[in-house]
Structure 1
């Protein structure tokens, strides 16, 4: 941190210079002249102080920034803190934790459409519980680590949440604990049904079937319950990390089992635990590939890890049983030649 030097510190007439640093409390440091920096006629000194309150296990800059904000607001003579960041996560976090800070908090959003937000005023307009629920609905509707609902904007999900106290309570609870309860899942199911305009439904599988009967495009259907559970686990895990932004120790668990799969050093999303369809249905898949020889993921059979059958209308297919046998035979022949 950089502080203006007060007192007479011209030149190096003495081996040590006594420098007063303007802070909440006056401190006098004895430093060698070589550590004093002069810029435009003003003497400065760069002082590094280890602050135990800022030691933490945070992995994200977003949450670490809020811990620093809490520390800055803790000084008795600090009544205003300004954060400079264009990040949406930071905006949501500042609104959700403002009730824990005894200071006016502003966020300077940088960039082309830069502006300054008075965070206290926004949080007061929402109410404390709704402000805290923003963390839950933000990650649930899609953030850096959690997928979004295709065709459903964040604005729509927030609007539905604010329309009912029960929805606010649901997302206020999301992320409070590392594990989700069956009761919370039931309430989230009901919320997602409303997102897809199935306002009378409480079962997401029924809502998905209803949308299918209405002719909704496959890519726009609601998720099934298995996929929704995994999505909720990921959202809950991320919300739990965000809600602990003011703590020095987050102590986050291994993401495996929280909507993620860990193997060695690889972390992948667990989209579902059930097969995409029963085997009897999968065998009815057929393709009509004309140019790709059924060797790319654009082939519906190939993408489902199935071989093409007599039902398919493909041309020059390279994904039939005979083609696979030919590939195996060719590979064995090459290995024999090598030996």
Structure 2
């Protein structure tokens, strides 16, 4: 069961959301379903996914076209926090490359390369701020 939590003047409301019921066991794949749902809500301005997991980053890229609002990946390691504009990054990549990422990740994940990718995601020189990374919410 999945529920939508909303806050209003100090109280929390819980509403069941049947559209989000699924049999996915992995949280990584459920994130995409939740992003798609959130982007369809009229009050949503942007969808922000906060995770230190590089798997989530790799899943967001190929599915970004299915998310109708700006998609931001908020990631951190220690004191180093980055916000990547997935919508912008995905738009700069050919669709075939984005689609191939899932297959490539499945193969490389078994080789234990996630640590290297997570280090790259934290690297200040990976992509300039103008190309989709910011260090704070103010720059979004």
- Taking structure 1 as the reference length, the TM-score comes to 0.31
2:15 counterpart of 1:49: yes
Count of paired positions: 110
2:63 counterpart of 1:63: no
Residues 215-246 of structure 1 deviation map (CA, whole Å, 9 limit, x = unaligned): xxxxxxxxxxxxxxxxxxxxxxxxxxxxxxxx
Within 5 A, what are the aligned runs for 1:21-32? Answer: none
Within 5 A, what are the aligned runs for 1:252-291? Answer: none
Partners of 1:111 and 1:149 lie apart in 2 by 18
Partners of 2:55 and 2:34 lie apart in 1 by 16
Who is 2:132 aligned against?
Answer: none
Who is 1:139 aligned against?
Answer: 106
2:85 counterpart of 1:118: yes
Partners of 2:49 and 2:59 lie apart in 1 by 12
- Match 2:96 to one of 129, 134, 147: 129
Partners of 2:6 and 2:93 lie apart in 1 by 38
Who is 1:78 aligned against?
Answer: 44
Structure 1 residue 77, shift from structure 2 partner: 3.4
Larger RCO: Structure 1 or Structure 2 (Cα < 8 Å, ≥ 6 residues apart)?
Answer: 2
Could you list the runs of 4 or more consecutive aligned residues of structure 1 that deviate by over 3 angstroms after TM superposition?
A: none
The Cα RMSD (Å) is 2.0
Partners of 2:105 and 2:64 lie apart in 1 by 17
Who is 1:148 aligned against?
Answer: 111
CA contact (8 A) 2:59 2:102 kept: yes
Structure 1 residue 110, shift from structure 2 partner: 2.1
Q: Which has the higher strand share?
A: 2
CA contact (8 A) 1:123 1:131 kept: yes
Unaligned runs of 5+ in 2: 118-140
Structure 1 residue 78, shift from structure 2 partner: 2.0
SS in 1 for 2:77: coil
Partners of 1:149 and 1:95 lie apart in 2 by 20
SS in 2 for 1:77: coil
CA contact (8 A) 1:78 1:103 kept: yes
- Match 1:3 to one of 3, 7, 21: 7
Structure 1 residue 2, shift from structure 2 partner: 3.8
- Match 2:58 to one of 92, 96, 111: 92
CA contact (8 A) 1:108 1:114 kept: yes
- Taking structure 2 as the reference length, the TM-score comes to 0.71
Unaligned runs of 5+ in 1: 6-43, 155-339
